Amino acid sequence: MKTEGVCVESVDELTDEEKKYWKRIATSYYIVLDVIVLGIVGLVGGLLGYYFIGVKPKFVDFLIATEGEMKKVNWSTRREIMGSTWVVIGLTVVVAVLITVMDYMVYSPIFRAIGVLESGG
């Protein structure tokens, strides 16, 4: 198989065997690249975790205090959240209908009169 030192204009000039060879090479390259990137991300994440947990005790104290404050929060019930959600959905529909009515009854005639919109028909 002649794969080294060959310059081709397009992939179509390669034989099926050469295409398979280069596909394996490219796949291997991307796997190695993925492993390297994953290793770097893991290393950076580990170093940041060590820095914030091991070196900065104030950060850990902050997280503990935050957890304590979150336990004091008066969370809404499911019923209250569902009621609020329906109010938002209802008001959204009402505003959409009002804007549509205003558009057709007020703005469309004005824009047709001054020639911005063509008369349909």
The structure tokens 């975790």 sit at: 49
The structure tokens 């503990």 sit at: 64
Q: Is the dihedral of CA 83, 87, 93, 94 positive or negative?
A: positive
Distance CA 9, CA 26 (A): 18
Statement: the pTM of the whole predicted model exceeds 0.75: no
Q: Are 3 and 22 in contact (CB under 8 A)?
A: yes
Q: Are 4 and 21 in contact (CB under 8 A)?
A: no
- 51-67 confidence digits (pLDDT tens): 888 888 888 889 899 99
Q: Which amino acid is at 65?
A: A
Q: Residue 79: is its pLDDT beyond 90?
A: yes
- 5-37 confidence digits (pLDDT tens): 556 667 677 788 887 888 888 888 888 888 999
* Own/partner long-range contacts of 89-95 (Cβ < 8 Å, ≥24 apart): none
Written as six digits, the tokens of 24 are: 């394996």
Per-residue confidence (pLDDT) for residue 67, from 0 to 100 = 93
Per-residue confidence (pLDDT) for residue 7, from 0 to 100 = 67
Which strand (E) or helix (H) includes residue 102? Answer: helix 78-102
